[in-house]
Every structure is written in structure tokens, then in C-alpha cells.
Amino acid sequence: MSDTLLEQAKRALAGGDAEQAWVLTQQAVEQAPDNIETLYLSAVLCRLRGDLRQAHVQLDALLAIRPGFGRAHQERGHCFRTEGKREPAVAAYEKAVSCNPLLTASWQLLEAHYRQADPAKAREAKDKIAEVEAMPLELRAALAAYYDEDFALAEERVRSFLMQVPDHPAAMRLLAELGTRMGEYEDAQFILEKCKELNPGYLQARFDLADVLGKRFHYEHALREAEELVSVESQNPNFLMLRANLLLQTGETDLALQEYQTLHDREGDNIRVSLTLGHALKALGRIEEAISAYRQTYGLKPDFGDAYWSLANLKTYRFTDGELGSMISEEANPAIDRDDRIHLCFALGKALEDRGDFARSFEYYARGNALRQEVVGYRAAAVTREIDEQIAHCTSGLFAAKSGSGCVSEDPIFIVGLPRAGSTLLEQILASHSMVEGTTELPDIMAIASRLNGRQEQSEADRYPGNLAELSVEELGALGSGYIKSTQVHRREGKPRFIDKMPNNFRHIGLIHLILPNARIIDARRDPMDCGFSVFKQLFAQGQDFSYDLDHIGRYYRDYVRLMDHWDTVLPGRVLRVQHEDVLDDLEGQVRRILDYCGLPFEQSCVEFHRTERAVRTPSSEQVRRPINRDGAGVWKNFEPWLDPLKTALAGQLA
């Protein structure tokens, strides 16, 4: 009904009957107060009627729902311009084109503004106008839908256009981007490789190809693509940044740092360069320099939530009164980007927790988690079904039938479990041994599981893990050997053993056992309330979608324990469980137990793990550079009044 009213209102406005358009739009707003297009048209009509205050109210409501809606920012600019507020109007137009580069009205007004003040920016705006106007109308319509976040319509339009012009590079790039957004990385890679073959000079698509290869964990291939880009444009900051990011991903932290530092010296006003420089410095333990980089980043963009969260994520940093006030003010801005708001909420939760203001701290943690859950759309039932499938198919009979299969390498030591359960501490202990190299959370096992599952329609049942029974001894051996080969890119020190601490690998222990029967597997276990609340406080870069709701966390923990109990039953003695609290109580005893299980001689350096200098790229990096302590134990009790959903979900797991 509201769509019908909206279309009627648009027709009335196009026909010159602004009053009828107004009446119909207000009826549409009443029926669908969260409809983006209705709120947008209402704001436009408010401005045309001279009611600028109400126009801003409508835009506030719209941007609270869709912060990246470019046309809303453009309309905000029109309102400011009508009010004679030149600088806010310019800022709004700049925001508009950053969200939607097709908005020629914003570009035209920016070009006029910068004609005298900044000729270079004026030329850029003029070039953008020409670029948009030269674009085929069908492609422009597809891109318009994309920037409005109507991805289904964008795909429909771009596919229709490609039927007419099959090798159009910008259209191929858009289709690949839509695939990437849907997680169809293999499809995106295929399209971009074809685009490179047909249009080798179209560097934007080649940049996307390197990025997609990185997302698929094909780091060596991605680095080759990045090197090719740099060889074509050696001073392009985006290409240099891409190469540096890939170096960081493959453990070449020192080389990556050199690149970031060079970029930072040259591009000092680039917030992404400053932020990532801080990340590299943090990984190397150069904390004061990392803090300086993060502070410089929010100095460049005061509402850049990731800079504040990066400071909070150091775990040892304490915000100043001024920083706290700035964060509160920026988060309260209704026009702030959603991602910035999420990062600020988590940072404010940490800042207020450190000050003992637990009620306000929890409010921000809860707000940040709720916003993030809206983005990830986690479904707890899907994970429960996955665990059920592992239990149903990975039986004692399967392992008996496949006895003697797999690659015989003893190199890998897997550390599995939930995040925030003490896995980084165990990694640091083991990586302090002369025979063991610490790497990072490697994606290779999950990539193997994904390949075994294959591409499917949503209605199709999963092939994996049921098809493990169909694999021959030779095929299982090849998968194990492939894992050893693919992880070689992360091994830089020539040591005989290495650590893979991807926590989610607990869901694939059956696969690990079949393809790497001599690998060691350690289950990092922590008190469920300590672990659960610590997960709730953490904003993860990716891959832990269960963590943004207390009930989801509790259910995930239950499923995790249920599956680990199954592995203990069907593979007795295969997994070593290490309880975090036991490590705190008896460090040396647990170190000896871990080393014995791994077949490694005792070394005192493992007890003195905090003295080991190495890059650590997880949230606990600073905590493992200090001697053993109990700082994180029992923290959840400060928030107990608000944790009933977690307690309820953990029923049966609490002592």
C-alpha cells in the first residue's frame, strides 16, 4: 500500500502538483515510517515547502536507518545551502559523493565551490561529472541501485546490460563486486580474471581481483597480482596499501611496516594508512608508536570509530576525559555511519568499564552488539544443524574404516576452541619453544571443508561432512599434503613445527584427523561466563558472527562443548584439553603437560613466554606480553545484573 502511495506522490510531484504529492507522502510515512524512499521524498517536499527544520528531522530518521544513503546526504546539502550554511553544505555534498559517486548535482555544486578555493578539487569534480555522463544509461541505473543498497535490483540490471555488451569492464567489475558481497568469491574471481584477460589495462578490476584472491586466502597469487599493479603504477597509494596488507597477512610484518611507514610519510592525511600502520606497530609490540598512529587517525576524522576501537582493543589503553567526551558526542550524532557507530559503541563500553561505570558500559556494549547483529544476521539454528551433521557422520566406524589415511606430517599443532578462551596465551607459550613457529589463525582447514561442500543451491543439503566417507586414502592424503603446502607461505623461520590457532577448527576435528593423523590438537577451554562475556565485549574483524547476542553466545558454547564431547568419545585421547584457569594456577605444570603432548622437550622459555619477541595479531597481543595474571578472571561479575540471557543459554554448563 505504501509503495502505491509513494508512486502516486512521485507522479504528482513530476506533474507539478506539489500539494497532492505532500498529502500522499505523509500518508505513506504514516503507513511505513521506516521506508527509505518515503522518508527521502518527505524530506525533499519539506524543503520545497520551506520547512527546513522538519526536512532535517526526516533526514535524521532516514540516515539512522541507512547511514550510507548518498541521496539523503545530498538533500542535507541542499537544506544547508538553502539556509545559507556554506561549509556544512559542502561537507554534506562531499559525504554524498563518497557514498554515491553518481550524484552529479553534488559534483556540480562542489565544482562551483572549489573553482576558486581549490582548482585541483574542482577539476576532479568536473572529471567525475564527465565520467558519469559518459556512462551507458543501463549501467548507470545498475550502479544507482548498487549505491542505494538494492543489490538484487543492481544484479538484475547489470546482468541485463551484460547480455547486450558482454565484455564491458565496469559492468563485469560491478557483477563481481555483487558476488563478493554475497560471499561468492569463486564467481567473483572468475569474472575478474576474465575481465583482466579482455581488458588488461582496466586496473580497478585487477585491484579487485587481488583483493578477492586475498579473501579466498590465495595469498601468493594475490601478492603476484599486487606486484603487477605496483609495477604499472609504482606510486599508486591504493596498490601499495594492498601489497602491504597482503604482506601483513602472510606474516611479513617487518616488510609490511616499512611499506606502511613509507605510505604514511607520503600520505599523512590518509586515515586507512594511519590506522593500518598502527595495526602493524601493535603486532610488533611497539605500542606507544601504535597509539600515536591511532590518535593521528581520529585527529584526521573525529568520528572514525575504528581508530577509537583500535585503542580500546589494545586492552591496556586508558582513554582520557577528552577522548571519552569526543566519543560520546560523535556516537550521538544521528548522521554518523553505522560502522563508525558500532566501533564507537564497543570503544565506549571498554572506556566506561575501565572507569567502573558498568551500567553505562553495558548500554554501549549492548547497543554496539545489536547494531552488529543486524549486519551479520547470524542464525544459531544453522550452526546447531552443522554440529548435528558432524556428530552424525564423523563416527568411530568412519575413523576405523579410514585408519592409516592422510598425510603423515607431524608439523601442525592446532589450537581450537572459542575466541577469548586463552588460545593466544597457549600459542605464545608454544611459540616460545625453539622448535615451534607461531603463525596466526589460518583459514586453510575451513577452505578445505568449503571445497568439500562444493557450490550449492540454498535448498540443497550439505555434502560435507557426509562425503568424508567417500574419499579414498589417496584423496585424504592429498588433502593433508595440500594443507602443508598451502600453509608454507606463513612459515618464515624454518622450524619443524608450527601453530594454526584458528578457533573455529573445532568444528572440523574429524577432517583434521583424517587428513593429518599425526597433527596435535589442543582445545583451549575457559570458564563459560568469563569466556562468553569476553566474546560479547569483543568486536571481531570477521568470522565470529555468533558473538553479538548473549543468547547466541550461550547456544554456541553449548554446541561447542557438545561437539568436543563427541570428539572425545569417537577419538579418545586425540585432543588435549587445556583449561585456562589451570594455566593461571599452575603455569609450569601445564606447560610441561602441553609440551609432553606435543612430543617436545621442556624449555624454560615457554614458562617465560612474555619475554618472547614475535608479531602477535590477535586482540590478546598485549596481554601475552606480560607475565601470567588473573586480570580477566571473573570480570563478568561486574555486569551480572544484565547477563541473564547468557546464564539461561548456558544452562547445564555452569558449575
Residues 407-440 pLDDT 10s: 999 999 999 999 999 999 999 999 999 999 998 8
CA 366 – CA 608 distance, rounded (Å): 37
Q: What is the 3-state secondary structure (H, E, C) of 121-147?
A: HHHHHHHHHHHHHCCCHHHHHHHHHHH
Check residue 616 and give its pLDDT: 57
Residue 33 confidence class, pLDDT cut points 50, 70, 90: confident
Q: Where in the chain is the domain with CATH 3.40.50.300?
A: 380-451+468-649
Contact 498, 410 (CB under 8 A): no
CA 246 – CA 58 distance, rounded (Å): 43
Q: Which carries the bigger pLDDT value, residue 92 or residue 181?
A: 92
Encoded amino acid at 42, one letter: S
Location of C-alpha cell 552424525: 392
What's the rounded mean pLDDT across residues 55-84?
Answer: 92
Cell numbers at residue 145, please?
Answer: 541501485
CA 615 – CA 373 distance, rounded (Å): 31
Decide if pLDDT at 3 tops 60. Answer: no
Mean pLDDT, the chain, whole residue set: 91
Location of C-alpha cell 597481543: 621
Class of the CATH-defined domain 148-317: mainly alpha
Check residue 451 and give its pLDDT: 86
What's the rounded mean pLDDT across residues 289-310?
Answer: 95
Q: Which residues contact 458 (CB under 8 A, 6 or more apart)?
A: none
Give the full edge-to-edge strand order of the sheet including 575-579: 436-440, 497-500, 412-417, 520-525, 575-579
Residue 624 confidence class, pLDDT cut points 50, 70, 90: low
Contact 304, 297 (CB under 8 A): yes
Contact 255, 283 (CB under 8 A): no
Decide if pLDDT at 639 tops 50. Answer: yes
For the stretch 226-256, pLDDT in tens is 999 999 999 999 999 999 989 888 878 888 8
170-179, 335-344, 523-532: lowest mean pLDDT where? 335-344
Sign of the alpha-carbon dihedral angle for 274, 276, 279, 280: negative
Three-class secondary structure of residue 171 per DSSP:
helix
Contact 336, 350 (CB under 8 A): no
Q: What is the pTM of this model?
A: 0.80
Check residue 619 and give its pLDDT: 52
Contact 615, 431 (CB under 8 A): no
CA 78 – CA 55 distance, rounded (Å): 10
Q: Where in the chain is the domain with CATH 1.25.40.10?
A: 2-100, 148-317
Residue 621 confidence class, pLDDT cut points 50, 70, 90: very low
Q: Per CATH, which fold does 2-100 belong to?
A: 1.25.40
Q: Which residues contact 255 (CB under 8 A, 6 or more apart)?
A: 247
Q: Is 321 exposed, middle or buried (0-12, 13-18, 19+ CB in 10 A)?
A: exposed
Check residue 1 and give its pLDDT: 40
Range 380-451+468-649: architecture per CATH: 3-Layer(aba) Sandwich (3.40)
Cell numbers at residue 316, please?
Answer: 591496556
What's the rounded mean pLDDT across residues 340-366?
Answer: 97
Q: Is 308 exposed, middle or buried (0-12, 13-18, 19+ CB in 10 A)?
A: buried
**Of 405, 556, 557, which is closest to residue 481 (Cα–Cα)?**
405
CA 437 – CA 287 distance, rounded (Å): 23
Specify the length of the chain in residues: 655
Check residue 455 and give its pLDDT: 64
Residue 615 confidence class, pLDDT cut points 50, 70, 90: low
Decide if pLDDT at 629 tops 80. Answer: no
Going by the DSSP 8-state scheme, the letter that residue 437 receives in this structure is E
Looking at the DSSP bridge assignments, the partners of residue 416 are: 523
Check residue 14 and give its pLDDT: 87
The fraction of the chain above a pLDDT of 70, given in percent, is 96
Decide if pLDDT at 178 tops 90. Answer: yes
Three-class secondary structure of residue 521 per DSSP:
strand
- Compute the half-sphere exposure of residue 370: CA atoms within 13 Å on the CB side of its CA: 6
162: left (phi over 0), alpha (psi -120 to 50) or beta: alpha
Q: Which carries the bigger pLDDT value, residue 283 or residue 50?
A: 50
Check residue 377 and give its pLDDT: 84
What's the rounded mean pLDDT across residues 114-127?
Answer: 91
For the stretch 382-405, pLDDT in tens is 999 999 999 999 999 999 999 999
Check residue 397 and give its pLDDT: 96
